[in-house]
Every structure is written in structure tokens, then in C-alpha cells.
Amino acid sequence: MNNNILVIILASGVFYGTPLFFAALGELFTERSGVLNLGVEGMMLMGGVSAVWASQHIPGTSWFVVLCSIFIGAFAGALVAALHAFLCVTLRTNQTVAGLSITIFAGALGLSSYFANVWDVASKTVQHPIRILNPGGLADTPIVGPIFFHQTILTYLSWVLCVLSVVYLFRTRTGLKLRSVGESPQTADAVGINVAKYRYIHTILGGALAGIGGTYYSLTIVPQWVDGVTKGAGWIAIALVIFGFWRPDLTLLGAYLFGALQSLGLTLKARNIEINGSILDAMPFIMTVVVLVIVSGGWAHKRLQTPAALGIAFEREER
Amino acid sequence: MQSPLRLERRLTQPKWLNWGVPLLSLLGALILGGIVLLATGKNPFSVYARIIERGFASTDAFSRTLISATPFAFTGLAASVAFRMGLINIGGEGQLYLGAIGAAFAGIAFQDQPTAVIIATMIIFGMLFGGAWAAIVGILKAKFSTNEIITSLMLNYVAAIFLDYLIFNSNSYWRDPKSYGFPTGKRLVENAYWYDISIGPIAIPFGFVVAVFVAVIVWFLYSRTRFGYEVGVIASSPSAARYAGIRARWKIITVMALSGALAGLGGASDVGDFRHVLDAKGVQISGYGYTGIVVAALARLNPLSAIFVAVFIGGLSNAGYALQGPDFPSGLVGTLQGLILFTAVAGEILTRYRIKRQNTIADGAIV
């Protein structure tokens, strides 16, 4: 039963959806604070390359190395995000162009590739990939086991994060303040909330999560360094936030849907099912466009709840 | 804690900003790039010296720089045209691929015609294919107000997969049936090669001449016609445009298609000027479309400046190819381009604000 094709598709949906969720959750926090971050792809790649470097250079037991690599991947993403926050919050530049410049600067043809070259990470194998973890033998239960419990530590961590972020956003005072900063920074400022601080923190947090998403690509999915390994996942993550109506729980579902779409080609090929591979490869990208069209028009648009101040710099002097 | 500096909004824009800001941005990018180089154990001065040597310092190098600059000129113009209406078209990459596909089709289909006819049809098909691909984004934006940033980017990936499909995964019209092992596209006949125009020892690719011509047309269109005026109104105030009866939806589709057609022309020039074949891997490797955004930003969306910026960026990238090796790792050129974009974006702050020192006496008075 565990070999059923539907089970495999769902299991790979969770497997390939996990990095999308990390990146999308990060973008969600950033956008909730009113900052649009189009640099996700660049942050993921910087996280990914730094994590590979860490995994090749840190001595110690496998577990220790893996934890350090994840941490360093997150740290690298956070550093790049701090740059974005500086451009958008302090310098008040156009957030769209700032994010694009982050992706061009750090992306597949930029700094991540440069570091990979200088550190010579691509030629060496990854000794300590993030492996599948079977918590308490749960992976052996029928159907649910392979789908949800034949995964890595990062997938289990992502569920904890999903619950925590729903509580944080909708059940805590800080979460309420965060949402108010994204909806109306003028009002938030008037009641004494430090708008700049909230935007900095959540942009950097978003970058750290994107960095973990990139780490998942370079240490779990591949696991090796290839320039531009995320192949547009950062952009799909940005679309997922819209698709998830800026809510972590719906974003998680969306991530698994797109994860399944991304891996469909591999799954079917492994089963020797004849189908045009190019169309399957293009599916996630085409579906992103289709989903955007659906949520942009008609009934969904009214319920989208886009943060009202998204993409707009806050200028205190000009209230 | 208060920062010692403070931003004050400019009421007027002094003239020096037009050239001063790009120059300051470049200087800033060189300094930041130098820090990256130092941090990774390279000597920034020798790297920069070699870039200048291999990019600009001889007629030979300069001829090659013009070759590299041509696609950047087109994608830079494509980005400028859209950005000036506030349409963030980052699909120049995919639109350029489609232009290459269209031009290669024309080059193969009309190969028995005279050269002038082949070149003209290659240009037309390149523009048509690129423009149609971009129009998808425009139509979705106009009809469903779909975010053009994400849709245009997603179509880049679709275009790349389509391009690979035509050459590697199918027996398409473009694929050379005689290519075994590593599949390639059909080579164009020599009649379909675009001319170089020589001025002394410097060879100017035909595509570059077209780019200059197009830049002048775009400049005229945007600063001397009703069309350009209306685009400007939409960019600065969509509601004012609506009251004035400007049909913004049509403008979105038209401007997107125009932007895509320009990027497509870049693809046509890639086929006609340089490769003479639909090279699926070669056209994807350079990130022409993304670099076009750097060009447009540094040129401050001015089509005429875009040509000069394209030559500069082309020199950088030409030197990058020539020098690639252990001393000059891949990714360095992209990093430098990214830094230039950063500083150009950050430099825009100088055009909108003045940086003032915090007036401590006034602060003290409040306390």
C-alpha cells in the first residue's frame, strides 16, 4: 500500500514542498511587516552555498555538522536580508528594484556562484547531508507513515514553525503589532510602535528562513552544490504567499501542492509512465501564473488581505 | 538613540544629479566589489586593471565588447520602456529566447531569399515572438490585475524549458536532424548572417547599429509624442490618467508588447549577428534579460544613456569571458553587476533626498 503511486506523489509533495514552505513563511513575515522582498531566490542560494561550505569544513559528529550547517545557511540568508532591510527601511529605496538587485547580486550568476568557485564547494561531495529521519518508527505506518514521517528534521521543524507562526501572528500582542505595521505604519507609529525595528526584524527573519530553504536544496534534495540549484523556487515562494492569503497554514498546503507538481515528472518517470517531460517541468511555473490569475481576479481578490502598506516606504517626517 | 544623519526631501532636482548619481554609484560599486575581492584573497587593483585591459583598452577588445554589449542594449531598452510606465517587466530573459526562436525560424524558412529580405524577416519575427510572449503578461495584468513581476518571471522559466524542448527533446523545425550525440540547431546559410560595419579597426555589429537606431526611436516616442506623454501620466498618477480618459489597460498591453519586442530583437541579433544558429544553452548562460535591468537602472531609464551603459556592462562581461579562470572565478561579473545595481538603486536616494546632519541644537531645545 505504501508503494501506491498516490502515496508517493503526496510524500514527494511534502518532501519537495518543505523548502518552498520555509522560503514562503519567511516572505510572509516580511510582507506582513509591509516590506516586499523579491530577493528570496538570492537569499536561498546564499544560504545554500554557505551551508554546503559549513558542512564541508566543520569537524565533528554528523548531527553537530548538520545543525551547524542549517544555522549557517540561515545566518547567510539573514545577512543578505539585512542588506535588503537597509535599502528598503533606512534608505527607503523602491522595494521592487531593491529586491531584484538582491537576486541579481546574490543569485545564480552572482555572489553565490562566486563563493562556490572561490570556496571550491561544487567539486567536493557532501559528507553530511540532512538525512531522512524516522521518528519512533512512525514511517512504517501505512499511508500516513511514508507521506509525513519519511522526512528530514527540517520538515518536522517546519510544522512546529507553522503552528508557532499562526499563534504568533493572530494570538499574540507582538503579532498584532506586526500586522498593524504592515497595514498602517502611520497608525502603528502613532501608538508608539517602532516601525523600522519591526520591519528590520521581520525582513531578517524572512531571510533566515529563506536561507534554510536554500540549505534544504543543497544538503537534502541534491545534495551537492550546483549553481542556481533552487531553479526559481524563491519566486514560487513569493507567489505562494499570495496563494496562501498571507496565512501560514494555507501557505503550507500550497507549498505541498507545488512540491508535488515539481516532483511529478520524477515520480512518473520512475514508474516508467510515458509523458512529455518538458510539459511536466514547466507545470509549476505555468500553475503559478494560473493560480495568480485566479486569486487576483473576482471573489478571491476581496478576501486576499494583502497588507495595505506592502511595498511602501514609511517616512516618519511626512505623516 | 538618534542617527547623526537625517534625510530631507529635495524640492528641486539639480542638473548634476543626472550624471553625478550614476558615476557615484559606479564608484561605490567598485569599492564594494573591492571589499568582496579582498575578503576572498584577491587583489582588487589587478582584477580591475585586467577588466579594463581586456574590455576596453584595445580596438580588438573594444570590438568584442560591442558584441557583448548588443544584447544588453536591447534588454536594457526593453526594461526601460516598461519601467517608465511602472510596469516591472523582468521577463526580458524569456522574451529574448522567444525572439531568438522567431528569428531562427525566419532565417531557416526564408533562406533562399536575398540577404536583405532574410534579415528583415528575422527582425520582424524576433520582435513578433518576443512581443507576443510579453503580451501574455500584459493581457493578464490588464484583464485580471495579475502581478506582472511574478508572471513575467515565471514565463522566463517556461520559455527556457520550451527552448530546451525545441533543440534537445524533440525533432522540431529548429533542430538539425544531422546532429548526433549532442543535439544542435540548424545552422543558418551564410546569406542570413548579419553584417558587421567597420569603422577603422573597430567592427560594429549590425545589431548594435539597430539598437542605437531603436534607442533614438524610443527616446522620440517617450519624450516627443502623445503616446509617451500618456505613459508618463499613467506612471506618475494612475487616477489622473483615468480622469483624463487615458485607456490604461490598452497601454499596459501595448507597452508590455513593445518591451517584449525589443527584448526579442536582442534574441534575433543573437542568432543573426553572432551564433547563426538557435543555441539553446549559449543564449541562456549569460542572463541577458536580468542584466538588462541593471542597464536600465544605471541609465535611469533613459533610452539613449542605456546604449552607453550597455557598452560599459558589455565590456565588463566580455572581460569576464576572456579572463575566466582561477584568478577570475565565474560569478564575479554577476556579483559586480549586482553591486552596480545596488549602488544605482541606493544612489536614487540622492535624487530624492538631501542628506543633512542632525541639528543637535534643535533637538536639545525640545528636551
Cβ separation A106–B9 shorter than 8 A:
no
Res. B351 pLDDT band, cuts 50 70 90: confident
Mean pLDDT of chain A: 91
- Chain B residue with minimum CA distance to A89: B346
> Of all residues in chain B, what percent carry a pLDDT higher than 90?
61
Residues A313 and A88 sit within 8 Å (Cβ to Cβ): yes
Cβ separation A114–B332 shorter than 8 A:
yes
pLDDT, residue A289, reads: 94
The Cβ of residue B238 has, within 10 Å, a number of other Cβ atoms equal to: 12
C-alpha cell at A199: 520591519
Instruction: Look at residue B358 and tell me whether its pLDDT is greater than 70.
Output: no
How far away is chain A from the Cα of B318, in angstroms, using its nearest Cα? 15
Cβ separation B154–A114 shorter than 8 A:
no
Residues of chain A with pLDDT under 50: 319
Cβ separation A114–B329 shorter than 8 A:
yes
Residues of A whose CB is below 8 A from B157: 231-232, 282, 285
The Cβ of residue B161 has, within 10 Å, a number of other Cβ atoms equal to: 21
Res. B6 pLDDT band, cuts 50 70 90: confident
Helix axes B288-298, B248-269, angle to 10 degrees: 120
pLDDT, residue A306, reads: 83
Residues B85 and B112 sit within 8 Å (Cβ to Cβ): no
Residues of A whose CB is below 8 A from B291: 104
pLDDT, residue B305, reads: 93
Cβ separation B331–A110 shorter than 8 A:
yes
- Rounded Cα–Cα distance for residues B181 and B158 (Å): 25
Residues of A whose CB is below 8 A from B342: 83, 87, 101, 105
Residues B17 and B286 sit within 8 Å (Cβ to Cβ): no
How far away is chain B from the Cα of A118, in angstroms, using its nearest Cα? 7
Q: Does A111 touch chain B (CB under 8 A)?
A: yes
- Rounded Cα–Cα distance for residues B165 and B142 (Å): 30
Mean pLDDT of chain B: 90
pLDDT, residue A295, reads: 85
Q: Which CATH class is domain B70-327?
A: mainly alpha
How far away is chain A from the Cα of B157, in angstroms, using its nearest Cα? 7
Distances (CA, A) of A227 to A45, A116, A173, A262, B262: 8, 8, 42, 19, 29
Q: pLDDT, tens digit, for every residue of B179-222?
A: 777 889 999 999 999 988 888 889 999 999 999 999 999 999 99
Instruction: Look at residue B361 and tell me whether its pLDDT is greater than 70.
Output: no
Q: pLDDT, tens digit, for every residue of A43-93?
A: 999 999 999 999 999 999 999 999 999 999 999 999 999 999 999 999 888
Residues of A whose CB is below 8 A from B348: 93-94
- Chain A residue with minimum CA distance to B156: A285
pLDDT, residue A61, reads: 92
The Cβ of residue A55 has, within 10 Å, a number of other Cβ atoms equal to: 28
Cβ separation B297–A97 shorter than 8 A:
yes
Residues of A whose CB is below 8 A from B79: none
Cβ separation A105–B339 shorter than 8 A:
yes
Q: Could you give the residue ranges of the DSSP H alpha helices within chain B?
A: 17-39, 44-55, 59-83, 92-109, 115-144, 148-168, 206-224, 226-236, 238-243, 248-269, 280-285, 288-298, 303-323, 332-352, 360-366
Res. B364 pLDDT band, cuts 50 70 90: very low
Q: What is the DSSP letter of B114?
A: -
Q: pLDDT, tens digit, for every residue of B57-76?
A: 999 999 999 999 999 999 99
Instruction: Look at residue B1 and tell me whether its pLDDT is greater than 60.
Output: no
Cβ separation A296–B144 shorter than 8 A:
yes
Cβ separation A235–B140 shorter than 8 A:
no
For range B284-306, the mean pLDDT: 91
| Nearest CA among A42, A137, A209 for reference residue B334 | A42
Using a cut of 0.80, tell me whether the model's pTM lies above it.
Answer: yes
Cβ separation B153–A289 shorter than 8 A:
no
Q: Does A114 touch chain B (CB under 8 A)?
A: yes
| Nearest CA among B294, B274, B297, B367 for reference residue B335 | B294
pLDDT, residue B363, reads: 46
Q: Where are the domains of chain B?
A: 1-42+328-367, 70-327
C-alpha cell at B237: 498618477
| Complex ipTM value | 0.90
